[in-house]
Amino acid sequence: MANGGTASGGATGSGTTGTTGTTGTTGTTGTTGTTGATGATARVEIGSRSAGRVVGSWRAAWLRVEAHWTWYRRYWRSSLYSSGLQPVLFLAAMGLGFGSQVEAGPATGGLAYVHYVAPALLVAGAVQNAIGESSYPVLSGFKWQQDYYAVTATPVTAGQLLGGQIIWIVLRVGIACVVYTLVALLFGAWLNAGALLVVPIGVFAAVACGVPIMAVAATTYNEGERFAAIFRFLVMPMILFSGTFFPIEQIPAAVRWLAWISPVWHGTELARGVTLGGLGGWPALGHLAFLGVLAGFSAALARRYFYRRLVV
Amino acid sequence: MNGEAAAPMVGAPMVEAKALVKRFGDVEAVRGIDVQVRTGEAFGFLGPNGAGKSSTMRMIASTSPRSDGDLRVLGMDPDVDGPRIRARLGSVPQQDTLDTELTLRQNLQIYGRYFGMSRADVRRKATELMEFAQLSERADGLVDALSGGMKRRLTIARSLVNDPDLLLLDEPTTGLDPQARHMLWDRLFRLKAGGVTLIITSHYMDEVEQLCDRLVVMDDGRIVAEGSPSELIARYSTREVLELRFAPGEQGGIAARVAEFGERVEELPDRVLVYTGDGERALEQVHGRDVRPVSSLVRRSTLEDVFLRLTGRTLVD
Ligand SMILES: Nc1ncnc2c1ncn2[C@@H]1O[C@H](COP(=O)(O)OP(=O)(O)OP(=O)(O)O)[C@@H](O)[C@H]1O
Ligand SMILES: [Mg+2]
């Protein structure tokens, strides 16, 4: 045995094979040398016939995605409107309908309004989709279905559960963005292949907006009006006044900073940049950094709150 | 590894708790308990609401960190090896935590996957477990449509998906009808015969008496007694109990009048209990004293009596 003085109790394991992945655990049949067991606390693991084993962190998160997918296969129709149809309707109404009355001018970079608004609507739709998926569905895992507690009673940890939730939102929003992009193509809304980059940008902005809402959900015990208030007083204004439909230069200077701290604006600037051009390298990096910091910071916060709620 | 095939360590403690404490803010739910559960035995936690049974179970299940003291489960420390421990546990929490928007089969399969089982394995296991829980006809229906007892059975089935070495059952039979209860007892006996260690909490003393080799009685976060059901009954009660019921308002003063006919007398709101080696004889003596209960019953002592003796309260009202 590698671990000085530790009795080789692990030797009795038979059914369990070694584990893979990043959690750093070895299988029951392995030696106990490298993991958390220190010389001070001799671990004498009792022999096993169980079929269960620890899976690696990425795998665990992916198993959560599998679970979401199982659910989605049954219920995708119910979210078709909010995540799929709504942005397309907006594009038709604002881009084609309303846009036909808008003259190309300096504000639209000399372009038809549909070209101006299409990338921004993708970002706005993705953000709304992600926020929706991060609010009540996450709260339900804690509060109504309580299935999060079932998951964390298995080898899967609260952090892996959160990771799976984020990956799931990436995929789900990604699918919706691809569908939107294709429909917008039929509308002639794209000018060039830069449109391909709008999808990852939309997803990135969506994650940066969704993960903070997950953190909020993990600290919400009494749903009350919290999410409704967030939708009304945070999300809607953010979508309306972040340069989605008109440039933020039209906003009075005194309150324009509100748009600057809006992740939707950063996403919209990036999305327009890759399709319409006119965005310098440094500003682009700045927008990416803003979204990255927001996503990273809120993921760390969400992780802490997930543990606080699930491991009590 | 030296490759020798080691024999299972019979008798090594599956669970070992020393001065184990759980606090929730100012509430001390578990106040320093010592417990040892041996491999292969069925162990019970008996106690009234709020005694700290679930808090203890969650610490053993390695889902809830201990506040103080020492704990080893399967020889490992939950704070260090939580996932490894959980990989080999089956856990039936007090509240069902099923995904009601999915089918029974999907619930079992998804859960099994978290234990690193292959798709083929979880598929086979799900079918087997729905058979076990007698829910096969409902396999592809939604969990939402199940009755409370059926959900409970599914939760129990789910806990077995990884062939656990240690099965934790927190009030498993709550909501089950008598037939389902007995079916479950039968299944638990079989699991135990197959080498699974069981830890069960319950309010039902008959359940604990039937199922458990050993138990602790918990009250207010502490262990007040420990032993096998028969040991506890022998130690804290008499062989028989005479129960006397009186018309409303006529019970006053009776306890004192019949006290000499038993080793001990307990007065409950609705009846007087006389603890004695020979219930029939005590009943004759009671009649001889011209005490006229509306009904009387001689029965064997149960854990309920042990509990009453230890805490001065009844377990189930
Ligand atoms: N998550 C929690 N937060 C705060 N207090 C808690 C929590 N869980 C349990 N408690 C408190 O700890 C004490 C013991 O509760 P526990 O659930 O362990 O009792 P129990 O013996 O399982 O009771 P029951 O028979 O009702 O299930 C109670 O006072 C309870 O209010
Ligand atoms: Mg309980």
Q: Which of B56, B63, B52 is nearest to A146 (CA)?
A: B63
Q: Identify the burial level of A247 via C-beta atoms within 10 angstroms of its C-beta, where 0-12 means exposed, 13-18 middle and 19 or more buried.
A: middle
Nearest to A59 by CA among A195, A190, A164: A164
Ligand 1 pocket at CB < 6 A: A 312; B 24, 27, 29, 47, 49-55, 94
- DSSP letter assigned to residue A48: -
Give pLDDT tens digits for A244-275: 888 877 878 777 778 788 999 999 999 998 99
Cα gap B189→B183, rounded to integer Å = 10
Distance between Cα A64 and ligand 2 center (Å): 28
- Which whole-number Å values give the CA distances from B18 to A147, A310, B30, B230, in the listed order? 31, 24, 12, 25
Take residue B80 and report the two structure tokens written for it: 């260090």
pLDDT tens, residue order, chain B (317 aa): 343 444 444 556 899 999 999 999 999 999 999 999 999 999 999 988 899 999 999 999 999 999 999 999 999 999 999 999 999 999 999 999 999 999 999 999 999 999 999 999 999 999 999 999 999 999 999 999 999 999 999 999 999 999 999 999 999 998 888 898 998 899 899 999 999 999 999 888 888 888 999 999 999 999 999 999 999 999 999 999 999 999 888 888 888 888 889 999 998 888 999 999 999 999 999 998 888 899 999 999 998 899 888 887 776 54
Q: Which pair of tokens denotes residue A195?
A: 């449109």
Q: Hey, which CATH number is domain B13-227, 3.30.1490.20, 3.40.50.980, 3.40.50.300, 3.10.180.10? A: 3.40.50.300
* Extents of the domains making up chain B: 13-227, 238-300
Per-residue pLDDT for A1 more than 70? no
Q: Which CATH architecture has domain B238-300?
A: 2-Layer Sandwich (3.30)
Runs of H (alpha helix) within A20-112: 57-75, 86-90
What's the angle, vertex CA B263, arms to CA B260 and CA B264, rounded to 5?
A: 90
Region A27-54: mean pLDDT is: 55
> CB of B223 within 8 A of CB of B35?
yes
Q: With an 8 Å Cβ cutoff, are A9 and B75 in contact?
A: yes
Which residues in chain B have Cβ-Cβ distances shorter than 8 Å to A26?
none
Q: Which atom of ligand 1 is nearest to the CA of B45?
A: 21
CB proximity under 8 Å: A 292-311 to B: 310-311
Q: What is the distance in A from the centroid of ligand 2 to the CA of B50?
A: 7
Q: Give distance in angstroms: CA of A147 to centre of ligand 1.
A: 20
Contact B70, B20 (CB under 8 A): yes
Q: Where are the domains of chain A?
A: 57-311
Does B13-227 match B238-300 in CATH topology?
A: no
Q: Compute CA distances B5 → A33, A78, B9, B40, whole Å.
A: 20, 55, 12, 20
Is residue A41 over pLDDT 80? no
A253 CB near a chain B CB, below 8 Å?
A: no
Cβ–Cβ gap A145/B80 under 8 Å: no
Separation in Å, CA A297 to CA A130, A157, A304:
17, 20, 11
How do residues A87-105 score in pLDDT, each as one tens digit?
Answer: 777 777 777 777 777 777 7
Who's near B223: CB < 8 A, 6+ residues apart?
A: B33, B34, B35, B216, B217
* Alpha-carbon gap, residue A64 to A18, rounded angstroms: 22
Residues A176-186 have a mean pLDDT of: 91
CA atoms of A124 and A202, how far apart (whole Å): 8
Interface check for A161 against chain B (CB to CB < 8 A): the answer is no
Rounded Cα distance, B294 and B306, in Å:
26
* H helix or E strand, kind and range, residue B191: helix B178-193
SS3 per-residue string spanning A101-155: HCCCCHHHCCCCHHHHHHHHHHHHHHHHHHHHHHCHHHHHHHCCCCHHHHHCCCC
Q: Which residue has the tokens 């990273």?
A: A296
- CB within 8 Å of chain B, chain A residues 127-156: 145-147, 149-156
The verdict on ipTM greater than 0.90 is: no
